[in-house]
Structure 1
């Protein structure tokens, strides 16, 4: 009973943390999206479960109705444990793969898009572009594929926004290849691979550098390999106040990609 009481209080505390996380994200202009509101939703459910358990203990019916409620509760607990185990395994893989691979010179670099505000790079995309610029300046023979289509609130494609940034920083247009049709990470790599195979000096056996955010690197490598690429990961940093938000959201994105993105 003592262990159950500790576990119940821990879940209740996690629920409060989830709600606070969502409120902080709103205060820091995290935007309204699944990653922003999901911690609050899950936190609210955990808090309700804590109150719900106390309510059931006081008003639990007798006989068959009581047995049905207890069986349902055991089923919910079992599913929750399975979900928790999968969450820990996937998050462990996301975190362990967020570190950069050994930096080596390759023939091609792919930078994944991350949103524009009209025609201006988002903070996240600017961080990725700075990483890309550093790499391109270090290795002057590398060509870059800029991958990202045009989405809501964007006046141009993400690829075009990235191209303008690099050209303004002194990178020659001759080193830039644009992929401006993708709307997802899977399409980023599928369409980028189509561009790469059209290059005379590209070989399937060579490594390709990939720049994206640290939390996104694990899934990006998986999808890159599914499209026949050999990835070298170069992560860009994520703001501290978005870390709980994006790592939680990435868990669901990884599960979705493992099942659907082929």
Structure 2
């Protein structure tokens, strides 16, 4: 009986940690950013050839809505080129915004990054911005805004829907990524 109690007690530790992380993720995703923030950063996600993944498309559509409501906001499209991608994530996003009538003068590009941290770090280095709306899928915004703070950008989260077909997998992966961030910093 003592071993069973010890086992149950030890099992509660990871459940507690995941619960805390989940609460932080949900709280961050439920924020609504203020209007008229000068910059909006769309974090990159998978591109299949030249087509945006559903996750990236959801980010783009969410960002487009903010840009239409805030005509003085500039958008920074972010993301390099990974395996299976014929164009950078930033280029796929840039094309989407141009096709949806966002003036090219409002579109800034960061196309070297290969991670969330690099998206924000390279954006800060290129454009020296102080604050921005950060658009990503709901599961990802807590980590993204934490990294934004780390590189000196005050980030206002704007959540795009996560596709249901990958939601459970991405949340589980994100719990591990947040834990890694807490332990090693990136």
User: Taking structure 1 as the reference length, what is the TM-score of the superposition?
Assistant: 0.66
Q: What does 1:21-170 align with in structure 2 at a 5 Å threshold?
A: 77-170=8-101
Residue segments in structure 1 that go unaligned for 5+ positions in a row: 2-69
Larger mean Cα displacement after TM superposition, 118-127 or 81-90: 81-90
Q: 1:230 to 1:80 in 2, by over 3 A?
A: same
Counterpart of 2:31 in 1: which secondary structure?
Answer: coil
Query: Of residues 170, 181, 185 in structure 2, which corresponds to 1:257?
Result: 181
Counterpart of 1:212 in 2: which secondary structure?
Answer: strand
Q: Are the counterparts in 2 of residues 109 and 209 from structure 1 also a CA contact under 8 Å? A: yes
Q: Does 1:228 align with 2:152?
A: yes
Q: Are the counterparts in 1 of residues 41 and 134 from structure 2 also a CA contact under 8 Å? A: yes
What is the number of residues matched between the two proteins? 186
Q: Are the counterparts in 1 of residues 139 and 171 from structure 2 also a CA contact under 8 Å? A: yes
Q: Does 1:238 align with 2:185?
A: no
Q: Identify the structure with the greater strand proportion.
A: 2
Query: Of residues 124, 134, 138 in structure 2, which corresponds to 1:214?
Result: 138
Whole-Å Cα distance in 2 between the matches of residues 103 and 167 of structure 1? Answer: 24
Whole-Å Cα distance in 2 between the matches of residues 85 and 191 of structure 1? Answer: 34
Question: More relative contact order in 1 or in 2 (CA 8 Å, sep 6+)?
Answer: 2
- Which residue number in structure 2 is paired with residue 172 of structure 1? 103
Residue segments in structure 2 that go unaligned for 5+ positions in a row: none
Q: Identify the structure with the greater helix proportion.
A: 1
Whole-Å Cα distance in 1 between the matches of residues 10 and 162 of structure 2? Answer: 31
Q: Are the counterparts in 1 of residues 35 and 70 from structure 2 also a CA contact under 8 Å? A: no
- Structure with the greater alpha carbon radius of gyration: 1
Q: Are the counterparts in 2 of residues 186 and 261 from structure 1 also a CA contact under 8 Å? A: no
User: Taking structure 2 as the reference length, what is the TM-score of the superposition?
Assistant: 0.91
Q: Are the counterparts in 1 of residues 44 and 89 from structure 2 also a CA contact under 8 Å? A: yes
Per-residue CA deviations over 1:136-188 (Å, capped at 9, x if unaligned) read 12111111111101001001110011111111111121111111111111111
Kindly state the Cα deviation for residue 75 of structure 1 after the two structures are TM-superposed: 6.3
Q: Are the counterparts in 2 of residues 124 and 238 from structure 1 also a CA contact under 8 Å? A: yes
